Amino acid sequence: MAPSEGGESLSGIRYISTRGGGDPTGFQDAVMTGLAPDGGLLIPDSIPDVRDRLEEWSGLSFADLSFEVIRLFSDIPDADLKQIIDRSYSAFRHPEVVPTVPVGGVHVMELFHGPTLAFKDVALQFLGNTFEYILERTGRHLNILAATSGDTGSAAIYSVRGREHIQIFVMHPDGKVAPVQERQMTAVLDENVHNIAIKGTFDDCQRIMKSIFEDLDFKRKYSLGAVNSVNWARVLAQIVYYFYSGLRTMKVTGASRVRFAVPTGNFGDILAGWYALRMGLPVSHLVLATNENDILARFFETGEYSLGTVYHTLSPSMDIQVASNFERYLYCRVGQDPEKISAMMQQFRETGKLAVELAEGEEVDPVFIPGVGRREDILEVIRRYHDEFNYVLDPHTAVGVHVAEQHLNPDEPMICLSTAHPAKFSAAITEATGAEVHHRILDGLLQAETRCTTLPNDVQAVRAFVVEHGQVSR
């Protein structure tokens, strides 16, 4: 397939809004747009079937597999795309990038070997290099506005720090992220990096971000871009590791299908697994594991998506009630009807709840197995894996493992996504095991200088800060 210089995807795939507004767009435009102009999320207008490629793909390196998957959705010329991908994953400390290791009765996919020791690095290294590629070709500037409950912020900052054409503004809830996560963000002193502590919750940060993006005149004037998982490129890069781990695990075990257990708060990571399944990866079930903030688990049990109290837990990156990626799944669940989605999301904004219609005895979706890991469950799992297998799980991964162990099948290997290095949550590890866990990267932050601006829980205050510090393309 010949590389294309235009906006048309090499595969013919275009990107449309879940709410039906605007014209279909190419991949590069979708990356730069982030959130659709009508407030919806951009999704591919078709999903490629790759079942006839799985055997060939099972022997590829992670970078080569990334190229094969991403090019199906991309309008970046092949030679350029390959350079972007190779540059993105050269920053990882493990030769496999995302190795999978058997531990006890599960297989742990380690997604924490990137620059900030979190799974977000896999997608954000790719996204940062893609941004730079597009901006250098167009001469434009980009102001990234992001909301984080922990790992997204540091991974996003490390992916664009020091880049000439980009300013990044990262909001986090003041005092509600793990101390080491906060230092990973605020110890980056590059001039293009702006950390903002919001006096509120993560959901408040996310609400502010979406409100600003919905002001189309402001978004255009200040060239706002998104690195949160509302950006399709994030989900796309994450699809790759489902294929990589799934195909290799089946090859090693001789199994014909696998299951994945995913600790999730914003629904982006497990959504990538759902897309991999739709593309043809042999996945029987996706085990959806939440902490006490269980809005997603409740939806897949009852069909109702309703706000609850935000609890602050041992797994703070999942302390979320409004899952920003859920709309992409819901769009397909209601028959790809943009009018219905628009009405449901409006209802959710007004009432804090929405629901899908279920026939008597009907499951919400048999692919998803929901479950909850609470504080006592997390501590027990961390302690047991440490004592029995000499393996340390971070508290988010422990949520996934706890729920996964309730749904094991000897014929279908259970792959548990390990989303962060345990040293990022050392207090929880010490509470569970009595032992300390360290990482040289994190230890080096203890005495580092930091910089952060505290702002009220107010859209106008954040807008004013972006205006003062952002760049405007001429």
Phi-psi region of 259 (alpha: psi -120 to 50; beta: other; left: phi over 0): beta
> Position of tokens 């255009």?
220
Amino acid type, 78: D
Cβ partners under 8 Å of residue 228, min gap 6: 34, 146, 147, 148, 152, 206, 209, 234, 266, 324
- With contact defined as beta carbons under 8 Å apart, do 78 and 50 qualify? no
How many CB atoms are located within 10 Å of the residue 210 CB?
A: 19
Strands 353-355 and 258-263: unpaired
d(CA 250, CA 413): 8
d(CA 400, CA 289): 5
Longest dimension (CA), the chain: 60
Cβ partners under 8 Å of residue 68, min gap 6: 53, 57, 60
Q: Is 72 helix (H, G, I), strand (E, B) or coil?
A: coil
Dihedral of CA 193/199/203/209: which sign? negative
How many CB atoms are located within 10 Å of the residue 191 CB?
A: 9
Dihedral of CA 31/35/37/38: which sign? positive
- With contact defined as beta carbons under 8 Å apart, do 33 and 7 qualify? no
Q: Is 225 helix (H, G, I), strand (E, B) or coil?
A: strand
Catalytic residue IDs: 120
Secondary structure (H, E, C), 93-138:
CCCCCCCEEEECCEEEEECCCCCCCECHHHHHHHHHHHHHHHHHHH
- With contact defined as beta carbons under 8 Å apart, do 193 and 157 qualify? yes
Give the chain's radius of gyration (CA, Å).
21
Q: Which two tokens stand for residue 32?
A: 């730069």
Q: What φ, ψ does residue 288 adopt, rounded to 5°?
A: -95, 115
How many CB atoms are located within 10 Å of the residue 445 CB?
A: 17
